[in-house]
Amino acid sequence: MFSIGFAVLLGVTARPSSALAFGWDDLWLRPDQQAAKLFQQGETKQAAELFESSEWKGAAAYRSGDYEKAIEHFSQQNHSRANFNSGNALAFAGRLQESLEAFERVLADNAQDVDAQYNHDLIEKLLKEQQKKKQQQEGQQGA
């Protein structure tokens, strides 16, 4: 009778709860590793809070749609990839002129970066379209 009761008790206590699982992650995984796990699971907002790296914080914020926060994190870095990521976040935030400038910095570092060139050309086209619409609206208001 004792062994049956012990087996039932063991079965109940052996179940991992989500709180207990998170506790184990705290013990065995660094914050960046925990954040990477959350990032892969699509929990990007939580991942952004846990990441220690500004590059990864920016990537998680970008994925969660928080473009302003992504821009903030990407701007803390000074390399071509950060400029590229910043350019994308700036574009999605509607800050097209700043986005264009970010892609120009990428191309200044590497003129052969086809992705940066494509994005640069696309943003440039969008800016020209905006300018054209603005001129048309001003022309209609003045007439």
pLDDT in tens, 43-94: 767 766 766 677 878 888 898 899 999 999 999 988 999 999 999 999 999 9
- Asked if residues 103 and 119 have their Cβ atoms less than 8 Å apart, the reply is yes
Residue 132 lies in a domain: yes
pLDDT in tens, 18-50: 443 455 555 567 766 776 676 677 776 776 676
Question: Each residue of 70-80: b (16+ CB within 10 Å) or e?
Answer: bbbbbbebeeb
Residue 29 lies in a domain: no
Which segment, 32-36, 120-124, 134-138, is predicted with the most confidence on average? 120-124
Residue 7 lies in a domain: no
Whole-structure pTM value? 0.70
* Domain assignment of residue 100, given as a range: 34-142
Residue 14 lies in a domain: no
Residue 77 maps to which CATH number?
1.25.40.10
Task: Tally the domains of the chain.
Answer: 1
